[in-house]
Every structure is written in structure tokens, then in C-alpha cells.
Amino acid sequence: MFVNKSPRYEILSEESLAVLDRGWRRIVSELGIEFTMPEAVELFAAAGMKTEGDNVFLDPDFVMEQVAKAPHQFDVHARNPANNVTIGGDNMVFGSVYGPPFVREGDVRRVATMNDFEQFCKLSQSFPLLDSAGGTICEPDDAPLDSRHLDMVRALVTLTDKFFMGSVTSAGNAIDTLAMADIVFGGREAIERNPVMISLINVNSPLRYDERMLGAMFEYVRAGQPVLLTPFLLMGAMSPVSVQATLTQQVAEALAGIALVQLIRPGAPVIFGSFLSNNDMQSGAPAFGTPESAVGLLCTGQIARHYGLPFRSGGGLTASTTCDAQAAYEALMTMLPTFLAGTNWVMHSAGWLESGLASCYEKFIVDIEILRMMHEEFKPFEITEESLAWDAHQEVGHGGHFFGAAHTLDHFRDCFYRPLLSSTMNFERWQRLGGEDATDRAAKIWRETVDTYEAPPLDDAIRQELDEYVTRRRAELGD
Amino acid sequence: MFVNKSPRYEILSEESLAVLDRGWRRIVSELGIEFTMPEAVELFAAAGMKTEGDNVFLDPDFVMEQVAKAPHQFDVHARNPANNVTIGGDNMVFGSVYGPPFVREGDVRRVATMNDFEQFCKLSQSFPLLDSAGGTICEPDDAPLDSRHLDMVRALVTLTDKFFMGSVTSAGNAIDTLAMADIVFGGREAIERNPVMISLINVNSPLRYDERMLGAMFEYVRAGQPVLLTPFLLMGAMSPVSVQATLTQQVAEALAGIALVQLIRPGAPVIFGSFLSNNDMQSGAPAFGTPESAVGLLCTGQIARHYGLPFRSGGGLTASTTCDAQAAYEALMTMLPTFLAGTNWVMHSAGWLESGLASCYEKFIVDIEILRMMHEEFKPFEITEESLAWDAHQEVGHGGHFFGAAHTLDHFRDCFYRPLLSSTMNFERWQRLGGEDATDRAAKIWRETVDTYEAPPLDDAIRQELDEYVTRRRAELGD
């Protein structure tokens, strides 16, 4: 977990925030938010909201009363207590890519398998600056569809000892995820006391929460597990072609969901989510790492703080199909603002490629390098008398060099960032050694990391109980 | 010229600034700054400074008195008045890469030629967001050494109608550059009234200005042309292995030079320069796009504003030998902080590769794309009632899409950034069309740009006079 003590970069004026505030209030009260699950609509009706079918017309002040019940920050526990995290405040927590059906490995792009899933778990476990492997690091096509979530959760809790993300495709999958967490962490009471997972509830934007996601959400919230409510906003498709309008819609959708969470379980831990980019209006395809998404990200941080909520955004996003220069600059176009905004929970921190359609091994390493640099760049920076190295200046004087200065010899090992991937090799040596570009080198690094992966210890009884649960449930699910 | 109205990102506390202030004062007064040119030392001695050989022990208060004479901002005129710029304030002005002896074109890396120099001039002219081709865009090896500066200046002033950088390798070269500017801009009095170039005076760090650079500097300052005083600081080599110490040395060196400029010509336009990165202490080779250089850049902006001076820093710097993912993320690692710091004059904005040893055509296009994105990202951003697109929300409602909304149809052409290089093509189409990565596509873009280049108009008499000057001087120089 990274603690970001650097200043936040905020670009919205008070006046802009006031316009946005009026905007989301108008959306929730005049257009309303749809919840295609009767139980959700009933909860709102019981709280005095006007409803019409699935649509709930929300009183904005009521929404704010509910939102005020959500904690400003909360802990999520990991199997290894050293990997526990706090979501909120100055803390930044990072997870791997989430969701891709495909994998890219070098020049090959193919459907993802369970072996890929496990390899990405191993990579996520191996880099300390990732706090979580996430959830669906890729969608393993060779695992049976109806019971695949069991395989993924088992891999996440056995191959890593970091916190993980729950399955959200249905209420049933959420129940399985919770049951497996009970096995690993010592029962329901234990995980209610110390939550162990975060689950991603996407809004079916615009202005609709659907039954599948809501079903999973109800289970997680009732079990005291944090949920992340994320409007899914590609401007031009799910929201207007205006960053301002989209930010307003984002607040309307996220706060409406957070209000529901608080109705289900007052004080439940919850995260204000953001997944905001734009469509390329020439091709209609999604674009990532765009200037608009960066501006949206900076504003989202400021807005989430304005409403007193921990927030999610950012990541190493790109529309590129391959791990090239575009993939790199687009990833950093999102990741640097992620740090400027002080994002609390960062999904897709490593491995995202092809607009989220592919998990890429080489890109995973590029993203890890970017993350490592960001961690260094956003460390507190102060000028003190000691830091001035006056002795070095006295020693070297005019026109000399500092390579041999006593101050240099004392500090050269840890004075600067040491790259994992980047090379400073001169051209002649680089060429002699094969002329490998960053992506070629990344391929070597991920393979070596998987090869030298060490499994975190796990009690045999727990492992056995997990296996039995998976076997039993797979049979019940007919796979 | 870009006007950056976004907030500056400042990380130094008042206390840190105070420590730094004490630090540079101690360096200039106790260690002194060497000026290996008698005329410079005499000027300082005449002003009451203690001198010892080449070394000048500077009274810090005297330095500040001189610095106070420098203008906060000033104009530089271009051959085409539409390309005039203002250096200082919120203005950001961009020039191409400067200095490389090599060129990289695709997979080929070779010694630069005059043809390359001209092609980079054409590229610099073709992209409106570059305010200048710079100066030595590459060092053309096939032009005669002693008169090469004549060829370069002629190319800069004929192939582009933007302002340019003067030759600084000697006083004689500066005199030639000024004479050629006189021809183009109507005489010495005209260019003194409206300066037309900026010239880069590097400090021979640590703490030394050498005779060649000073010789050129005296010529330019006397002719009223702005100079840029840049401590050349690769931490570990030319400065201590401490960002804090290096920032302090940077202030000492730059302010000492600025004081000299003001002694030569009070009120002369001058820029506080920064070229600050670190050595890779494992290899001893320079590293670029590092977290330390980004922090140094942010601080440099704050420090320059503290002393009321326009400043130079940033660029698309990288140590990578090829236009790969590393080149892209390192370039943006510097260019994004360049905008956060509000850098006034940005050298190396396009084409830098291989730690400045190579000018790369493909990287030039990658950098242009990054610059275009930054220009968009740092535009003023406000939320107004009109920007909320309430009509679009009313039209689309719940669960629909905005592709066909009236608001979208009204704005889709210019609502989002339109990339030059980045692709959002889906995998199947991308593969079908040849599977080109960003660098492959950049190769096509730069060639097409050179092919469709249009020379800016130039009076035939001026062109002839320039040619005659070059011919005459080349003969005099014995080339």
C-alpha cells in the first residue's frame, strides 16, 4: 500500500463543483435511477422515495444523508496480514487488470486459459507494489462456464496471500465467493469483522443498475464486504460527449448506488467508482489514455473528496493492440493523473491491453515499471540542510566530477530509482547484446518471475476444504 | 504558443525554499563560480566582487540585484509574425530536439547528414504546435565542420518561418548567426528592438562557465538577443547524488550567469535553464525520464517563479536506443511534469532518442502526439450549465446509448481529442491491415509530412543575400 503525501492536483473551481452538484441532483430527482430488482426498489419506496416500476426518483438530500453513513476509510484484510490495506485517505491500493477474455504473449494473441489466470496470479503475488491480483485477471475459457468462478477464487486465495475481488456475475457466485472466504479466514463472523475482499458492481449506464450485479451486491453488502460502485462511462456511448456532463452522471449513478448500499446495511464500506473514458467518435471504438479521461480522472478525485468518499479510478489503460509506444504513453497518461488525484483503489494497474480485451504479459511488466517510478516520484520531498551535500561541493569544487566524491560513494547504491525494465545501455553494447526493445526485455522478466515464483504458505486443511467445496459445488452446478 | 491556465503543481514547502536559498548563497559566496574568460571576471571585479584567477566569489545580494533587472517575460519574433512567441508567464513555447550527432530512421541508426537536418526542419515547420525547429536539430556530419553553422542557420531561417536558436560553439559563430539574422530581419537595429532567436549557453557544471560558451553569450547579449543559461546536471557526474543539492547548485550556476548577463546589458532578456537528470549509478550512463528528473522539474518551475524568471526545462527525454515502450513512457514521464510545472521554453520537445545521441524520425511523431495530448489536457476546464448536456440525458434516459442523441450529433466532430498516431482499431481489423505498431505508423506519418511539406515564402533578394553570405564566409573559414 502506498501512502501518497504529495499534494493533490485539483482543477475544479468551487463554482464548477456547485454546478455539478445541482446537475446530479436534477438527474436523480427528475429522471431517476433504474434498479431492475424489486427488492432494491422496495427499499427505496420504504424510505419514502417515489418509484415508478423499476425507476426510483431520489430526493438528493436523502441521498446525501445515506452517503454520510459510509465510512471515509476502511480496512481490507489479506491472508498475509502484512498485505492488509486501508482504502481511503492518502492511501493508494493497486490491483491487476480485470476482465479480459484474451491474452497477449509476445506476438501471439489467444483466448485466455486457467493456466494464464494462474500465471497472472503468480505475477501479481511476486511484485510487492501490487496489493491484490484483483479478480478476473483474465477470463479462463478452458474452465467450465458455470463453475469457473470457483476456480478463479481458489486460485486467487491460494496462489496469492493478498486481498482479492469477489465474483459478481450473479448472487449465487457471490454466495460461493463468500463461502470460500469463510473457509480461508475462519468463518462469516471473522470476515464481517475484518472484510477480506472488494467486489466490483458496474452500473449499466446510463442510469440503470441491473439485477445480476445488484444480486451480487446485496450478498456482499449483507456480509459486510466492501463494494465498489462504478458507473461504466465511455463518453458518446453510455454518457453524453461532454466530460462535464459525464462527471455529473457519474456522481448521480454512484451516489444512488451508495445510498442503496447504506439502506441495506448502514455504515457499510463502499467505494465511489469511476471508469470514464471516451469513444473515438470517428470509429465508434473506445479510446483510453486520452486527455479527456485524464481530466475526468483529476476531477473525479476532487469530487470524491468533496463528498467524503474513498474512490476508485485510473490504471494502465490503453487501446493499443500491442505492447508498443502507444500502449506505454497511454498507460502513463492515465497512471500519472491517478497519482496526482490520489486514487484510493486502482484497478487495471498491470497487464491491461487492447481496451481491456486482452491481458498482456509484457504490458504487465511495463506497467509494473511505471508503477515503481510513480511510487518514487510521489514520495515526500523536502530540502533540508543535510540533503544539500555541502561536503560534496566542497570536495569537488569547479569543473570536476562527483563520481568519486565521498558523498557519492556513501549513497550511490540507493540514491536513485533502480529500474526493473528500462535500460540505459549505450547503443553499441545494446546492439551487441541483441538489440532487444523494452517489450522483448519484458518478456524475459515475466517468464523469470513466474519461474521463480514462491507460493505463499497455506494450511493443508484449508486447502483441502477449499478443494472439497469446489468439487461439491461444481457437481451441483452441473459442470 | 500554448497558454497554460491550469494550476501549477508545486511540491516545495516555504521551509524547503528557504533552505535552498541559503544553499545557493553559500555556494556562490564561499566556493565561487569560475568564468574562464577574463572579460567576464573583470566585469564582476569592476562591480566589486572578489575574484581569484577565473573564480568569482559572488555576493548573493548583488546577484539578486542583478537578477531583478531581468524581464519577467519577453517576446521573440519569427519570420512569420503569426509565429511570434512570448517567453514567460503562463506561456509555453516548444522546440525540437537539439544536439544529436546520430539519426535513427526505422531500424537504421547512422551519422546525421544535412539532408536529415533539412528534413527535421521541414517536420518542425509542419506541426503548428512546435514554435521553433530549435537549433542543432542534428549535427550534420557531411557539412564542413568550420562552416557548418552557416548551413544550419540558413536551413533554419529558410525552411521554417519560426524563431530559431543561435550557434553557440564560439563567438565567431555567434557573429555569423547575428549577421544572417540581420539579413533576414532587416538589420541589427531591427533585431535589437525585436529579438528573433534564443541561444543556449550551457554551464560547464559544476560551477564553471567556459570561454567558448561565454564568447558566444557576450555576442548575443550585446546584440539584445535572449540567452538561456542552463546548468548541465546529470546527478552523480556534474552534481551530487541528491536532487536537493542539485537544485541548489542549479540555482547558484544559473543566477551567477544571469547576473553576468545583466552586467553586460542591464535588462537583457534571459531564461533560467534546467537540464537535470541522473546517472544510472550501476552503469554510469545517463538516465532520462526518471522519477528524480520529474521531481527536479516540478521544483525547478517553482524555484524559477520564486526568483521571478522565465525558465526552461522538460522535453521528450529518454535513454532508450529505439522508439519503443520505454521511449514513450520516459518521454511522457518528462513531458507531463513539463506541463504541470508550466515550463516557459521547452527544448527537445520532439525527436529526442538515445540520451540525446540520436534524433529519431519516428520518435518525433510519438512526441508530437504526446504534445498534442498535453495541449488538450491542460486546456481550461470549467463546468457550466450548458456543458451538462441536460437535453441529452432527457433524450436518452435509462439504459440507452448516446450515439444517436441530438447533442452527440451536434458535437461529435470536435468533442474529443483526435489522435495523429494512436489507433483505436480493433484487433481483427488491425491484424488484417498489417498489424503495424505505433512506431511503424509513425514512420509513415513523418515521411508523408516531409513529402507534403510546403516551404514558407521568402523574398528572393533575402535568399540570395543569405547564400552570398554563406559562400563568402565559408571561403573565409577555409572550408
pLDDT tens track for A393-438: 999 999 999 999 999 999 999 999 999 999 999 999 999 999 999 9
Cβ pair B197, B177 in contact under 8 A: yes
Q: Would you say residue A145 has pLDDT above 90?
A: yes
pLDDT band of residue A283 (cuts 50, 70, 90) is confident
What are B29-52's pLDDT values in tens digits?
A: 999 999 999 999 999 999 999 999
Determine how β-strand B74-76 pairs with β-strand B85-87: antiparallel
Residues of B in contact with A249 (CB under 8 A): 393
Q: To probe the interface with B, which of A27, A379, A398, A409 has the most B CB atoms within 10 Å?
A: A398
Option in A322, A416, A430 nearest B278 (CB): A416
Closest CA in chain B for residue A297 = B377
Pair A180, A469: CB distance under 8 Å:
yes
The C-alpha cell of A324 is what?
A: 508498443
Q: Do A383 and B23 touch (CB under 8 A)?
A: yes
pLDDT tens readout for residues B216-230: 999 999 999 999 999
Residues contacting residue B260 through CB under 8 Å, at least 6 positions apart: B35, B40, B43, B44, B209, B217
Out of A290, A329, A415, the one facing B416 most closely (by C-beta) is A290
On whether ipTM exceeds 0.90, the answer is yes
Name the minimum distance, in Å, from the CA of A256 to any CA of chain B. Answer: 14
Look at A405 and B239 and tell me if their CB atoms are within 8 Å: no
Side-chain-facing half-sphere of B198: CA atoms under 13 Å: 36
Distance between start and end Cα atoms, chain B: 38
pLDDT at B283 over 90: no
Contacts of B211 in chain A (CB under 8 A): none
Cα separation, A211 vs A204, in Å, equals 10
> What percent of chain B stands above pLDDT 70?
100
Separation in Å, CA of A373 to nearest CA in chain B: 6
Contact (CB, 8 A) for B343 and B314: yes
Average pLDDT over residues A359-387: 98
d(CA B229, CA B210): 12
A373: nearest CB among B291, B355, B422: B291
Confidence of residue B405 (pLDDT cuts 50, 70, 90): very high
B403–A284 CB contact, under 8 Å: yes
Q: What is the pLDDT of residue A24?
A: 98
A159: three-class secondary structure by DSSP:
helix
Place of cell 462504478: A230
Closest CA to B283 of A178, A6, A163, A403: A403
State the smallest CA–CA distance between residue A208 and chain B in angstroms.
Answer: 6
pLDDT recorded at residue A189: 98
CA–CA gap between residue B248 and residue B252 (Å, rounded): 6
Contacts of A243 (CB under 8 A, 6+ apart): A235, A292, A295, A296, A299, B381
Burial A130-153 (b: 16+ CB within 10 A, else e): bbbbbbbbbbbbebeebbbbbbbb
Q: Which residues of B touch A31 (CB under 8 A)?
A: 393-394, 397-398
**Are the C-beta atoms of B311 and B343 separated by less than 8 Å?**
yes
Nearest to B287 among A324, A374, A424 (CB): A424
B401: three-class secondary structure by DSSP = coil
Tell me which chain B residues have a C-beta less than 8 angstroms from the C-beta of A284: 403
pLDDT exceeds 90 at position B372: yes
- Residue contact B388–A243, C-beta within 8 A: no
Specify the amino acid at residue A422: S
Please state the φ and ψ torsions of residue B265, each to the nearest 5 degrees: -150, 95
Q: Which has more pLDDT, A187 or A479? A: A187
Mean pLDDT estimate for chain B: 97
A-chain residues near B290 (CB < 8 A): 373, 416-417
Q: What's the number of CA atoms in the CB half-sphere (13 Å) around residue B2?
A: 28
Q: Give the span between the Cα atoms of A229 and B442, in whole angstroms.
A: 39
Chain A residue with CA closest to B323: the answer is A325
Percent of chain A whose pLDDT exceeds 90: 99
Alpha-helical (H) ranges within B90-134 are 114-126
Sign of the C-alpha dihedral, residues B103, B106, B110, B113? negative
Chain A contact set for B396 (CB, 8 A)? 206
Question: Whose CA is closest to A263, among A73, A55, A59, A40?
Answer: A40
Which pLDDT score, from 0 to 100, does residue B362 have? 98
Q: Fill in the amino acid letter for B316.
A: G
Q: How many CB atoms within 10 Å of residue A190?
A: 14
Residue A282 pLDDT > 90: no
Contacts (Cβ under 8 Å, ≥6 apart) of B316: B97, B331, B332, B334, B335, B348, B349, B350, B351, B352, B363, B366, B367, B370, B371
Angle made by CA atoms A352, A355, A357, in degrees to the nearest 5: 75
Tell me what the mean pLDDT of segment B166-192 comes to.
97
Beta-carbon separation of B388 and A245 below 8 A: yes
Residues of A with Cβ-Cβ distance to B366 under 8 angstroms? 325, 329
The CA-based angle A107-A112-A115, given to 5 degrees, is: 100
Determine the angle formed by the axes of helices B325-340 and A325-340, rounding to 10 degrees: 30
Residue B16 has pLDDT above 90, yes or no: yes
- Closest partner residue to B411 among A34, A241, A294, by Cβ? A241
Nearest CA in chain B to A423: B320
Residue pLDDT, tens place only, B336-347: 999 999 999 999
What distances in angstroms separate CA A32 from CA A13, A24, A208, A220, B394, one per listed residue?
A: 27, 10, 9, 25, 11
Q: pLDDT tens digits, residue range A52-92? A: 999 999 999 999 999 999 999 999 999 999 999 999 999 99
Run of H or E residues at B353? strand B352-353
